[in-house]
């Protein structure tokens, strides 16, 4: 019932946006806990694969994990996507630091434009996420990881579980985006009591024997998905480990339209298909492992290397996980081949849920127009007031009757300088004849109002239309007084223009006039003692005044 108002195209778009928003959210969070600075480049020409117009890299393993957790579903009421960030020490103690939640609530915004407003707001929300991931306490911890501890992530889908965060955890809201099917909310709950090193209050996991293999943490939760280390080095030149066929092909080229202003055009075109990279097999792992071994032996400290099949991170001194057939059940370790471990094979069929996407990608969608109703959301409304644009009579009407005082034109022109067009601008002859805008603009053509009683009024009246060369009668210039908006005429019953004219030339101060200044010096000197006496009497007041200036 909720969807009947949403066109099927909009619905598909919206689902796609939410799906990719979820994937990008996970990428931002995990990358922010890698322990290193992130840097991506701006590109002025859209490449077609940058969702939400942001350059956010896709670490394939992370996308794979996220998709696995989502299992083709989207966040909905009661079904939230959570990214859990935890810390694990070299002794094997671990502790949850943060839970990032992407939730959906029931509050729908039917009026909002999917292809435009929702998309842009999701982009804004990702920017907020980028900013917020650097300001929670776990960020600084994650930057210092490596020797004493590492940071792990775990993605799950379902109910949010915050109990592992300890007492008094705090929540920060990253933002919300309303959509026609519900409101997306992104928030983070984080532990504030980080004094855990001394008090071992957290769960014990099997001790690490120098070589980390098992980071499969025993969780009391039903949907326990394995945890993964965050610091993953995805080498650009290595083959994509998780081919993620649908990802490399689901790109989004968005076009927005501004004309006509009330319409929005959103076109999604499928980018070129990329040849799916070959599935990583054992052979790729071998050289890395060789490297790993030598590191492993020399390093007394363990560290994590995520199931970086084919990827090494020897540069940071992180020995790669050993394989040796251990924990074949755990798919996220560098272990031997097999169905249970290693790389999942390229799906021959797209996973359910993406079927529709695949099909959709094949049909060209250019030229699909969404005629958007006048947006009700405030951000689409231009509040800058425009002068009303209406029709006007011919300029001839203008010339007949009025001498227009334009805003800012405090010119008191002698009549014989008034030009034929009688508009107070030079080169008026060359001005475009249709002056509808000004004519109907109340600032320029105020409604008729009674003449002001200004004493200067008289000087504006014409004494004759000597300057006219067209034969139009300019005999009587009727001064139209402005009633500018927001002016009060209860204090001084005049408008700004009149006020200016009146007080433009105030009389001189009497003390400055020659007559007064003709007093002789002698008289001044005579009056001095008196004045000094007066001042001395009031010396206290003067002192107080000087005090206030200190």
Partner 1 sequence: SCPLSTRCCAPPSTGPAMNCRAEVLEVSVEGRQVEEAVLAVLHTVLLHRSTGKFHYKKEGTYSIGTVGTQDVDCDFIDFTYVRVSSEELDRALRKAVGEFKDALRGSGSDGMGQISLEFYQKKKSRWPFSDECILWELWTIKVNVVNLANEQERQICREKVGEKLCEKIINIVEVMNRHEYLPKMPTQSEVDNVFDTSLKDVQPYLYKISYQITDSLGTSVTTTMRRLIKDTLAL
Binding site for partner 1 (CB under 8 A): 37-47, 50, 53-55, 121, 124-125, 127-128, 130-132, 134-136, 139-140, 143, 172-176, 253-261, 265, 267, 377-384, 407-408, 425, 437-438, 546, 549-550
DSSP reduced 3-state for 94: strand
Nearest distance in Å: CB 254, partner 1: 7
Q: How far is the CB of 508 from partner 1 (least distance, A)?
A: 23
Of 381 and 473, the one with the shorter C-beta distance to partner 1 is: 381
Q: How far apart are CA 116 and CA 170, in angstroms?
A: 33
Q: How far is CA 102 from CA 75, 155, 186, 323, 386, in A?
A: 7, 11, 5, 35, 41
Task: Give least dist CB 163 to partner 1, A.
Answer: 24
Cis-peptide, bond into residue 32, ω within 30° of zero? no
d(CA 432, CA 350): 63
- Which CB atom, from 173 or from 413, has the smaller least distance to partner 1? 173
Residue 312 Cβ vs partner 1, minimum distance, rounded to whole Å = 24
Minimum distance, C-beta of residue 204 to partner 1, in the bound complex (Å) = 31
Rounded Cα distance between 424 and 236, Å, is 67
Nearer to partner 1, 190 or 302 (CB): 190
Q: Output 192 or 329, the one with its CB closest to partner 1.
A: 192
Q: In whole angstroms, what is the distance from residue 191 CA to residue 136 CA? A: 9
Closest approach of Cβ 109 to partner 1, in Å? 10
Please work out, in degrees rounded to the nearest 5, the angle formed at the alpha carbon of residue 248 by the alpha carbons of 243 and 252.
Answer: 160
d(CA 325, CA 341): 9
CA 338/CA 370 separation, integer angstroms: 49
H or E element at residue 426: none
Q: How far is the CB of 246 from partner 1 (least distance, A)?
A: 21
Between the alpha carbon of residue 170 and those of residues 21, 29, 143, 147, 192, the distances in Å are: 24, 18, 21, 27, 7
Helix or strand (DSSP H, E) at 436: helix 436-440
- Residue 63, number of CB atoms within 10 A of its CB: 18
Instruction: Assess contact for 151 and 230: CB atoms under 8 A.
Output: yes
Contact 14, 6 (CB under 8 A): yes
Query: Could you tell me the CA-to-CA distances from 140 to 35, 71, 133, 301 in Å, in that order?
Result: 8, 32, 10, 21
What is the nearest approach in angstroms of partner 1 to the Cβ of residue 237? 20
- CB 255, CB 265: distance < 8 Å: yes
3-state secondary structure of 15: helix
Task: State the nearest-atom distance from the C-beta of 28 to partner 1, in Å.
Answer: 9
269 SS3 class = strand
Nearest distance, CB of residue 485 and partner 1, angstroms: 12
Nearer of residues 54 and 314 to partner 1, judged by Cβ: 54
* Contact (Cβ atoms closer than 8 angstroms) between residue 94 and residue 81: no
Q: Which is nearer to partner 1, 255 or 470 (CB)?
A: 255
In the complex with partner 1, the residue whose CB is nearer, 11 or 143, is 143
Q: How many other β-carbons are positioned within 10 Å of the β-carbon of residue 428? A: 14
Least separation in angstroms between CB 437 and partner 1: 8
Q: At its nearest, how many Å lie between partner 1 and the CB of residue 425?
A: 7
Nearer Cβ to partner 1 (363/550)? 550
The structure tokens 């980071």 sit at 215
Minimum CB distance to partner 1 smaller for 267 or for 465:
267
Q: How far apart are CA 70 and CA 460, in angstroms?
A: 79
CB closer to partner 1, 349 vs 548: 548
Rounded Cα distance between 204 and 214, Å, is 13
DSSP labels, 345-361 = PPPSSPPTTSHHHHHHH
Q: 146 or 353: whose CB is closer to partner 1?
A: 146
* 260 vs 458, beta carbon nearer partner 1: 260
CB 259 to partner 1: min, Å: 3
3-state secondary structure of 1: coil
**What are the residue ranges of helices labelled H in 258-388?**
282-298, 355-362
CA distance 444 to 440: 8
Pick between residue 419 and residue 472 the one whose CB is nearest to partner 1. Answer: 419
Q: How far is the CB of 103 from partner 1 (least distance, A)?
A: 15
* For partner 1, the closer CB: 71 or 172: 172
């Amino acid at each position: 019932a909720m969807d009947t108002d949403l066109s099927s195209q909009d619905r598909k778009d919206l689902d796609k946006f939410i799906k990719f928003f979820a994937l990008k959210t996970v990428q931002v969070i995990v990358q922010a806990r890698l322990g290193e600075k992130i840097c991506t480049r701006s590109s002025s020409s859209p490449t077609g694969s940058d969702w939400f117009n942001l350059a956010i890299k896709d670490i394939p393993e992370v996308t794979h994990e996220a998709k696995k957790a989502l299992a083709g579903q989207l966040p909905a009421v009661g079904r939230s996507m959570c990214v859990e960030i935890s810390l694990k020490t070299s002794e094997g103690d671990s502790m949850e630091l943060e839970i990032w939640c992407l939730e959906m609530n029931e509050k729908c915004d039917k009026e909002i434009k999917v292809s435009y407003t929702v998309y842009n707001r999701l982009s804004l929300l990702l920017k907020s996420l980028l900013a917020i991931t650097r300001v929670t306490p776990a960020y600084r911890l994650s930057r210092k990881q490596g020797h004493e501890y590492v940071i792990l992530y775990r993605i799950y889908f379902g109910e949010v579980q915050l109990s592992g965060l300890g007492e008094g955890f705090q929540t920060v809201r990253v933002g919300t985006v309303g959509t026609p099917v519900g409101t997306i909310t992104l928030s983070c709950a984080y532990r504030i009591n980080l004094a855990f090193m001394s008090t071992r209050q957290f769960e014990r996991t099997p001790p690490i024997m120098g070589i980390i293999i098992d980071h499969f943490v025993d969780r009391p939760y039903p949907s326990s998905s394995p945890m993964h280390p965050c610091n993953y080095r995805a080498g650009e030149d290595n083959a994509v480990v998780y081919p993620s066929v649908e990802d490399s092909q689901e790109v989004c080229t968005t076009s927005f339209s501004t004309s006509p202003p009330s319409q929005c055009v959103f076109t999604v075109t499928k980018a070129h298909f990329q040849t799916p990279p070959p599935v990583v097999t054992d052979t790729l792992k071998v050289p890395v492992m060789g490297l790993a071994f030598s590191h492993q032996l020399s390093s007394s400290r363990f560290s994590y290397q995520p199931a970086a099949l084919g990827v090494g991170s020897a540069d940071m001194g992180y020995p790669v996980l050993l394989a040796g057939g251990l924990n074949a059940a755990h798919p996220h370790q560098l272990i031997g081949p097999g169905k249970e471990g290693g790389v999942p094979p390229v799906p021959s069929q797209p996973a359910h849920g993406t079927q529709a996407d695949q099909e959709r990608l094949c049909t060209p969608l250019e030229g699909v127009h969404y005629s958007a109703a006048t947006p009700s959301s405030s951000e689409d409304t231009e509040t800058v007031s425009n002068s009303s644009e209406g029709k006007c009579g011919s300029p001839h009407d203008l010339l007949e009757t009025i001498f227009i005082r334009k805003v800012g034109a405090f010119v008191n022109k002698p009549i014989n300088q008034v030009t034929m067009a009688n508009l107070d601008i030079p080169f008026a002859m060359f001005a475009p004849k249709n002056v509808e805008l000004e004519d109907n603009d109340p600032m320029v053509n105020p409604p008729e109002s009674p003449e002001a009683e200004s004493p200067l009024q008289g000087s504006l009246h014409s004494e004759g239309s000597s300057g006219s060369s067209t034969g139009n009668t300019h005999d009587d210039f009727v001064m139209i007084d402005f009633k500018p908006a927001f002016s009060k005429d209860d204090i001084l019953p005049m408008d700004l223009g009149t006020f200016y004219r009146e007080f433009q030339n105030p009389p001189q101060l009497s003390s400055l006039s020659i007559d007064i200044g003709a007093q002789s010096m002698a008289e001044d000197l005579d009056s001095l003692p008196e004045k000094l006496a007066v001042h001395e009497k009031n010396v206290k007041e003067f002192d107080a005044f000087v005090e206030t200036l200190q």
